[in-house]
Structure 1
Amino acid sequence: MSAAPLRIIGIDPGSQITGFGILDTDGRSSVHVHSGCIRLPTGDFPQRLGVIFRELDAIIATHQPAVMAIEQAFLARNAAVALKLGQARGAAICAAVNRGLDVSEYAPRLIKQAVVGSGSAVKEQVQHMVMIMLALTRRPAADEADALAAALCHAHIGSSLGRLPQGFQRRRRR
């Protein structure tokens, strides 16, 4: 990497497992720093949200990313699942904002398209491409791979936006 790298934490929020992945990027290449899954205990849902917040807060404090890339909510099987996913996202976003990170949200289809080339890619394809793109020696768990894919999506889109004229960037954000 030639320019000073940007450290990104990607998040795949979940009410049972929340994946996270940290990478450094210079806009041309990305390097894996750390990744894994936060496996939430059974029991009261508010306590599980607290675990997401505390675990991500500690990971952010340790690895010092500058930005969080997180999956946007998608249509869930039912309203209860959608609400729980939204609350898990909220806990993750609060951990980032609490530490002063910028937060960028990406649709799952856009993340898959940025990493695999198809917005309808299956989890195994995402895992495979993340493993290749980051030269990982082991296949990441599905939620971990989704989080790394979110970070890679931000690295690709952020580097593209950085090359656009300033006026175009402002118009696109509206």
Structure 2
Amino acid sequence: MTVLLGLDPSLSCTGWGVIRVEGNRLVHVANGQIATDAGAAMPLRLASIHAAVMEVILTYRPDRGACEEVFVNRNPQSTLKLAQARGVVLAACGAQGIPVREHAARLVKKAVVGTGAAEKRQVQAMLKVLLGGTQPAGPDAADALAVAIADAHLGSY
């Protein structure tokens, strides 16, 4: 059995999802979203994300992690903010010695739905099928669960 932490980092709302991989069977453990105050200073927002991810790690003790790769936005500031949020999420995993694989969004969609061009609603529908009717805490948590499922399907380290 492997406990896998999926992460969908964002400065505004980072999604997380924990699943257990038991052979070919996937079992939902928990999921959630880490929202930050848009009016707060950047260091406080990043610290908030880091602390919350550390709490998830210490609570569920994942064996490994999976994170969505950064995609480049048209707005460089948005890309930079995403990269900073991603950095603190990866740092939290690194601080606990958790190996993390990164996956492109298209690969995640293909692994979960069967096509890299799947829409969010298709991914969310497949989550319910693959994880026994699980209700994600929101769209960012759903994305994080999808990243975890994709990583489970892509095999061991």
User: Which TM-score applies when normalising by structure 1?
Assistant: 0.86
Residue 28 of structure 1: CA displacement?
0.5
Give unpaired runs (5+ residues) of structure 1.
162-174
Change (3 A) 1:15 1:139: closer
Q: Greater CA deviation, 134-143 or 25-34?
A: 134-143
Give unpaired runs (5+ residues) of structure 2.
none
SS in structure 1 of the partner of residue 62 of structure 2: coil
Letter in structure 2 aligned against 1:16: S
Aligned to 1:149: 146
Aligned to 2:122: 125
Match of 2:95 among 93, 98, 101: 98
- Bigger Rg, which one: 1
Letter in structure 1 aligned against 2:120: K
SS in structure 2 of the partner of residue 32 of structure 1: strand
Cα contact 1:131–1:138 (8 A) shared by 2? yes
Aligned to 1:134: 131
User: How far apart, in 1, do the equivalents of 2:69 and 2:3 lie?
Assistant: 20
User: Which TM-score applies when normalising by structure 2?
Assistant: 0.95
Letter in structure 2 aligned against 1:118: T
* Paired positions, count: 156
Cα contact 1:69–1:154 (8 A) shared by 2? yes
Provide runs of 4+ in structure 1 moved above 6 Å.
none
Q: Deviations over 1:44-72 (max 9, x none)?
A: 11211111110000110010001110000
SS in structure 2 of the partner of residue 158 of structure 1: coil
CA RMSD of aligned residues (A): 1.3
| RCO higher in structure (CA 8 A, sep ≥6) | 2
Q: Deviations over 1:104-138 (max 9, x none)?
A: 00001100100011111111111111111101243
Aligned to 2:41: 44
Change (3 A) 1:139 1:99: closer
Identity of aligned residues (%): 40
